[in-house]
Structure 1
């Protein structure tokens, strides 16, 4: 049975087929085996790429500026036995088959994520303008909410040919996907998500209130008004690839996926049995990379924060693009100016989360009057925006994500301490649940994050504005280096911000694999005829080029 996967729509390549093919990803010349390749960033993209490059016989040297895992960051509550808060990626759609390949490979387990109106959440409370509604699924909400859901589905059908395009993605019919998607690129790149909603026939037949609530509550994972200024193409990709549906979380923390890859000892060319990324790196990552240069016409040089310099046959930078100018001294000649423009214009969205550990999953306690759970997954226009509950067992400490917010709502708490954020969240939730004393259940210290305030990120994830498709195209296609002048070759880019699907780990995995192909080819290697890689098929099935 065919199922929806992240196949395209901009580049219709089946990454999951490539990485599971029995003939492998390819081979490098014998005299290149053991060559050092620098990987800047120990996040999903960097570790996946390093893992595959190690299997090819190269020596990946991993640099990390702060915490291993990047934005797959599972923070443990102090004093607990492994109770975690997912500060970055926390919900992973099952259509992300590249990511799940590595998750399954290292034996991590998942469970359904408690998104609003799903069985995993159990129940949902929507609190808007002081009115509070309780529901276990969409059918239990007033008809007003079903009108919104139906209007958005109708808009996707009428203005984006949604059903036919998604079916072509499911069938992995590359030519059909491109024939349907490419015209949408020209039509919607310079138009916002809000423009799509307001100018659709379905929403024009409804009131402003419908559009307002759609922004507050949204679909799938919650409110989407923070994305209203973004290019509609960003949202279409999320819908088409099922990223807002059937999501799971990683039991024990998603950082474990990368830790296990770091420690895994797969069969490798050149390296002896038992070799792992950890052993090749002496058990620890290098320090922060602060410079990338080229030694004359020779190899690339990476400088770390302590002034240590090492030469490399290739370098993969997986950090946020703005760090290439703010945190690192990168030789300007390593990229053409049009690429520098694209890197600098990349726009990152703000995002914040506030978590507390509690003594037990008290929110499941039945209210004696209503017969409902004491608290539910909560969507609100109050400061908290989205509140999620994580049950580790009736006799185990639970976790509440008191607040998950974006953009302006995230900036409201930017200068505040975790404790102050908790106070404000409890005050807001008290309006929704006046009879529940959340504070009495809190244990230990809260954990909070504002990604825009972290010097190693300067933002949570990319949110392309109208007109940014051309910039994304330049960055994404940079792994195709055969036609570049020699002095620009060898430095590669990857990460979810390089991808067409920012904020989703599958984009990080796919761009990391693009870089694997690019580095392998740069060093004289090639893929098997029976298993062509992304660069082999990119000229035929790559993104459409819009005129400048």
Structure 2
């Protein structure tokens, strides 16, 4: 495990240490044991928060509108038991130390993800503007690609004191992290990723072609041009926390981590040894249609079948836009400035197209070239990124024919699964003209466009310039002592509330923030030698802008 983790930089708190400490996350008064808390959403944030609230002796009641797992969605190909397509999160950096706490807790296994130019991929093909290059490492590519890599490293040093800041994060020195990062917030919040690249001394010395290659191929997982309009702070966090490096996938599908945590029996205050599933009668409740106050001032939650229950605390982990489109939410529950932040959250589009094939035929060696028939592929064509998943010789394999974002994802939005496969195969035929991929396909393809899912309305947050203030309001909402009474008791969590959207670690961290906030509301305290996020937030919390 690397010593680099998502330790800040906005709020440098060691969540992984907090949840692993033998003292636990704290305790609530015995008179509050058994108090019910509504948790809306059975994704990563909801299940993790529910698990930890249960351990404290509270009674988390889970609601889910769609599919258990949220965007940790593993779809099994028809007729198989463990041949899966990862429709949501599929690659998990080892720096996601909070998430891997639960991976280990549930006995789930991981393996290196076949990202470009990694040993797990074996080989990589880059196809830009009709030119196709084969490589096993960066050294196999033309000098231009190494110039791009060096330029971005230089830009990070020049514009963000990258080495100094990352060293402070590795050392878990919160004061030093804040000293460096807080100066960068006002400098880069209102400037885009593209501005950062083009204004850097390193890239100004290079050509447009270098910037174009950077956008199409990028670093780590591939092209980043779809993020060019985003606030540079968003990208800096990804780089600093090592989220785009050293990634792994969960063997058998990441969704099983949440299913196992749901079923995991653990020692709890008040409940004895219990699982979240047992506490919920084996199933979540249905879709929430209304959140408001009852006559006694408690928060009333109504599901789609008309059942209303009241709670002293409610945790909302769904995408923020659902609070105005799918759930009739009493406006008085949130301050209007927080409503502005929730409504202005900008979600990015994403699409994936998977097929199952008879075997990992891409490993066959072409006798004419001595190379594998197919390689992990980055291209400017409609597929953008193509990945291969080997389940063993002579066993069905999986090809992610296309993983694309924003405009590239919208290109396939109107099309059904078969048409998407046809478009992908057509694009790949220009790169691999002698390989008949279609002849190996078995069963039905599996596709997703997250923006068309009524329960998501987009894949993940992508903060625009100027959105730091909005993010600050959402992330810090778990600190509720100063709120008026009508706004207390409802909490928000999920990766779109976090500083690191699109990464499960953000869901983990905001879930744990909410656990502290809810426990605090019920009179709970943390152990003196294991302070929680709310205990240290006044000292190390994000810097406010004007």
Match of 1:281 in 2: 280
Match of 2:259 in 1: 259
Match of 2:62 in 1: 62
Q: Distance in 1 between matches of 2:150 and 2:378?
A: 20
**What stretches of structure 1 move > 6 A for 4+ residues in a row?**
none
Q: How is 1:328-339 mapped onto 2 (pairs within 5 angstroms)? A: 328-339=327-338
**Residues 2, 432 of structure 1: alpha-carbon distance in 2 compared, 3 angstrom cutoff:** closer
Match of 1:44 in 2: 44
Match of 2:168 in 1: 168
Match of 1:239 in 2: 239
TM-score (norm: length of structure 2): 0.99
Match of 1:429 in 2: 428
**Alignment coverage as a number of residue pairs:** 546
Q: Distance in 2 between matches of 1:199 and 1:24?
A: 47
Please state how far the C-alpha of 1:357 moved relative to its aligned partner: 0.3
Match of 1:518 in 2: 517
Match of 2:25 in 1: 25
CA contact (8 A) 1:61 1:285 kept: yes
Please state how far the C-alpha of 1:31 moved relative to its aligned partner: 1.1
Q: Distance in 1 between matches of 2:180 and 2:75?
A: 42
Please state how far the C-alpha of 1:29 moved relative to its aligned partner: 1.0
Q: Distance in 2 between matches of 1:522 and 1:396?
A: 52
- Alignment of 1:95 with 2:95, yes or no, is yes
Please state how far the C-alpha of 1:299 moved relative to its aligned partner: 1.4
Q: Distance in 2 between matches of 1:18 and 1:294?
A: 33
TM-score (norm: length of structure 1): 0.99
Once the two structures are superposed, residues 219-238 of structure 1 have per-residue CA deviations (whole angstroms, 9 ceiling, x without a partner) of: 00000000000000000000
Please state how far the C-alpha of 1:486 moved relative to its aligned partner: 0.8
Q: How is 1:328-407 mapped onto 2 (pairs within 5 angstroms)? A: 328-407=327-406
Once the two structures are superposed, residues 333-363 of structure 1 have per-residue CA deviations (whole angstroms, 9 ceiling, x without a partner) of: 0000000000000000000000000000000
- Alignment of 1:327 with 2:326, yes or no, is yes
Match of 2:218 in 1: 218
Secondary structure at the aligned position of 1:219 is classed as coil
Match of 2:419 in 1: 420
CA contact (8 A) 1:220 1:244 kept: yes
Match of 1:468 in 2: 467
Match of 1:150 in 2: 150
Q: Distance in 2 between matches of 1:366 and 1:427?
A: 22
Please state how far the C-alpha of 1:296 moved relative to its aligned partner: 3.2
- Alignment of 1:457 with 2:485, yes or no, is no
Q: Distance in 2 between matches of 1:102 and 1:278?
A: 16
Q: Distance in 2 between matches of 1:403 and 1:49?
A: 33
Gaps of 5+ in 2: none
Secondary structure at the aligned position of 1:524 is classed as coil
Gaps of 5+ in 1: none
Match of 1:114 in 2: 114
Q: Distance in 1 between matches of 2:377 and 2:24?
A: 46
Secondary structure at the aligned position of 1:532 is classed as coil
Please state how far the C-alpha of 1:415 moved relative to its aligned partner: 1.1
Once the two structures are superposed, residues 246-292 of structure 1 have per-residue CA deviations (whole angstroms, 9 ceiling, x without a partner) of: 0000000000100000000100010133x111111111110001111
Once the two structures are superposed, residues 127-155 of structure 1 have per-residue CA deviations (whole angstroms, 9 ceiling, x without a partner) of: 00000000000000000100000000000
Match of 2:299 in 1: 300
Q: Distance in 2 between matches of 1:55 and 1:189?
A: 38
Q: Distance in 2 between matches of 1:28 and 1:345?
A: 35
CA contact (8 A) 1:85 1:447 kept: yes
Once the two structures are superposed, residues 76-131 of structure 1 have per-residue CA deviations (whole angstroms, 9 ceiling, x without a partner) of: 00011220000000000000000000000010000000000000000000000000
Match of 1:203 in 2: 203
Once the two structures are superposed, residues 160-193 of structure 1 have per-residue CA deviations (whole angstroms, 9 ceiling, x without a partner) of: 1000000000000000000000010000000000
Secondary structure at the aligned position of 2:68 is classed as coil
Please state how far the C-alpha of 1:420 moved relative to its aligned partner: 0.5
- Alignment of 1:312 with 2:307, yes or no, is no
Secondary structure at the aligned position of 2:114 is classed as coil
Secondary structure at the aligned position of 2:134 is classed as strand
Secondary structure at the aligned position of 2:272 is classed as coil
Q: Distance in 1 between matches of 2:289 and 2:329?
A: 8
Q: Distance in 2 between matches of 1:260 and 1:6?
A: 24
Once the two structures are superposed, residues 481-508 of structure 1 have per-residue CA deviations (whole angstroms, 9 ceiling, x without a partner) of: 0000111100000000000000000000
Once the two structures are superposed, residues 281-333 of structure 1 have per-residue CA deviations (whole angstroms, 9 ceiling, x without a partner) of: 11111000111111135211100011110111210000000000000001000
